[in-house]
Amino acid sequence: MPGRVEWVLLAYRMPREPSTRRITVWRKLRRLGVAQVGDGLVALPADARTREQLEWVADDVLAAAGEATVWLARLGSAGQERALVERMAESVAGEYRRVVEEARSALAEHPAARRRTLRRLRRAVHSIGQRDFFPPPERDEARRAIEAVADQVAAEVAP
């Protein structure tokens, strides 16, 4: 992690009822790959895209009669930042490990099932990549595992 990271934070509070609005906001935050810093406080590395995304979520919170504030900040110490980065990287690393397991299992599938699995795994890796701000080594392992499946699929359809 070269240098210090600027973070965009969303501090929010929502009414308990109706719960569907809270759940919708939480799902959006999960899809973005936020780090849960505290109760009602999430963070992402700051860039134009992540700032805009958290501003949209803040608008959703306000529309649901909640309170929301978007902040730009730097963590107080390199150790705190390293811990947050490691937590975010480990979260996506687990998702990449599941992709690797599924890709390895796909090698034993029926060819038609293997092709479907390959498409699904490629979509999964793309989706994970959207929230992979600090790529762990598992990312490359997942890509290699998918390529092994792709190579097998290609060999099956080659004349």
Q: How does pLDDT run across 64-78, given as a tens digit for each residue?
A: 999 999 999 998 888
Domains in the chain: how many in total?
2
Element (H, E) at 140: helix 137-157
Q: Is 69 in the same domain as 98?
A: no
Boundary residue ending a domain (32, 49, 74): 74
d(Cα 90, Cα 99) in Å, to the nearest integer?
14
The answer to whether residue 147 sits within a structural domain is yes
Residue 139 has pLDDT above 80, yes or no: yes
* Per-residue pLDDT tens digits for 18-61: 899 999 999 999 999 999 999 999 999 999 999 999 999 999 99
141 and 100: one domain?
yes
Label residue 143 exposed, middle or buried (CB < 10 Å: 0-12, 13-18, 19+): middle
Q: Model pTM? A: 0.81
% of the chain with per-residue pLDDT over 70: 97
**Are 12 and 65 contained in the same domain?**
yes
Task: Please check whether residue 1 lies inside any domain of the structure.
Answer: no
Domain assignment present for residue 79? The answer is: no
Provide the residue range defining the domain that includes 152.
Answer: 89-157
Last residue of a domain, one of 48, 74, 100: 74
- Check: CB of residue 12 under 8 Å from CB of residue 40: yes
Does pLDDT of 2 surpass 60? no
